[in-house]
Structure 1
Amino acid sequence: MKEDIEKNQVGPCGIVCISCPLGSGTVAKTAGQTRGFIEGYKISEWAPYVSMDGERIDWDQVVRGMEWMMKYAVCAGCESGGGPPDCTIRICAKENGVELCSSCDELSSCDKFDWLGEHGEQLRETLKNCRGASKEEYIKSLEGSMPWEE
């Protein structure tokens, strides 16, 4: 998936797609590898003999979860039609013709990031610190890290 993402793609929220675990394909790839280990080592057959506080794990559901991640835990990035279709940040940016929220005068009081919890606040702070920067300058300033990992 990493090869499919435009190198300098960034969402209006400030997430640099190539460094995102969903955009880079890391989550989907890891889920596939984990599913392969579960099936290849027949974990579901011997795991019931290893107690986990007396609770049994439904390995069919675990594998189903891995398959879900392989299929849905990928993102082409907002600029390429990826990301949550109901993302309040992307919708607002599109309606207001904003490429990166750091150029929006209402960023400091914006509640569109709230649905992302702590990450939303960290993204908003990172964008505030990059006011006036071009998209390319913003990406370069992050040096391949997610904005909330600075």
Structure 2
Amino acid sequence: MKNVVEPPWILIYVNFSLYIIEGEKVSEPADFVGYCGLYCNACGIRQGKIKEAVQNLRKVMGAYGFDKIMPELAEWEPSFKHYGEFEQVLTGLVNLFGDCPGCYAGGGDPGCKVRRCAQQRGYKTCAECPDVQECEKILEHVKGDPTRRAVLEEIKEMGPEKWAEKMQEKGFSYLQT
């Protein structure tokens, strides 16, 4: 029997469950564990939800020709006179939140104190830091998410690689929680 060489796209497909394809680079799932313990691939922004919503809204509005009828509609609803500004906001949403490469590749808040601190201390995640339970930066960063410290503890116990694999298997979005 002759050896059959599979086309490269088949190999990529087979490996997709283990790796995320990022352009030319193949990234490990652990590359998407943020310093603060968020899993980037579960983020609606990283998943392109905002970009998709803007594209869908523009498609519907374009089908109805809203850009052409706004002056007339503004007679019925005064806020429609700001349609041009609304379009600028939609463009801004896509520009800022359209394609997030993940925390390690510079995505997210460019001034993130948690990221800066972890980088200065040489940590891949805050889970490595002995001060994480009392850390004011992480407290400020996770306001509204009382589970983040428990998540960091889980990352510490499992290691970022195993934790990322667990998150990938879950296949959820933070928008679902």
Instruction: Provide the aligned length of Structure 1 versus Structure 2.
Output: 146
- Counterpart position of 1:4: 22
Q: Against the structure 1 CA distance between its residues 18 and 149, is the aligned structure 2 distance closer, same or farther, given a 3 Å change threshold?
A: same
CA–CA separation in structure 1 for the residues paired with 2:41 and 2:163? 14
Contact 1:101 1:107 survives alignment (8 Å):
yes
My pick for the range that moved more, 99-108 or 34-43, is 34-43
Q: Against the structure 1 CA distance between its residues 56 and 81, is the aligned structure 2 distance closer, same or farther, given a 3 Å change threshold?
A: closer
CA–CA separation in structure 1 for the residues paired with 2:73 and 2:28? 45
- Counterpart position of 1:112: 137
Per the TM alignment, residue 116 of structure 1 is displaced from its structure 2 partner at its CA by 4.4
Please tell me whether residue 87 in structure 1 is matched to residue 87 in structure 2. Answer: no
Q: Secondary structure, in 3 states, of the residue corresponding to 1:22?
A: coil
Contact 2:37 2:155 survives alignment (8 Å):
no
Using the size of structure 1 for normalisation, the TM-score is: 0.78
- Counterpart position of 1:42: 65
- Counterpart position of 1:59: 83
CA–CA separation in structure 1 for the residues paired with 2:59 and 2:92? 14
Which residue identity lines up with residue 60 of structure 1 in the other structure?
Answer: G
**Can you give the 5+ residue segments of structure 1 that lack an aligned partner in the other structure?**
none
Select the structure that is richer in helix.
2
* Identical counterparts, % of pairs: 20
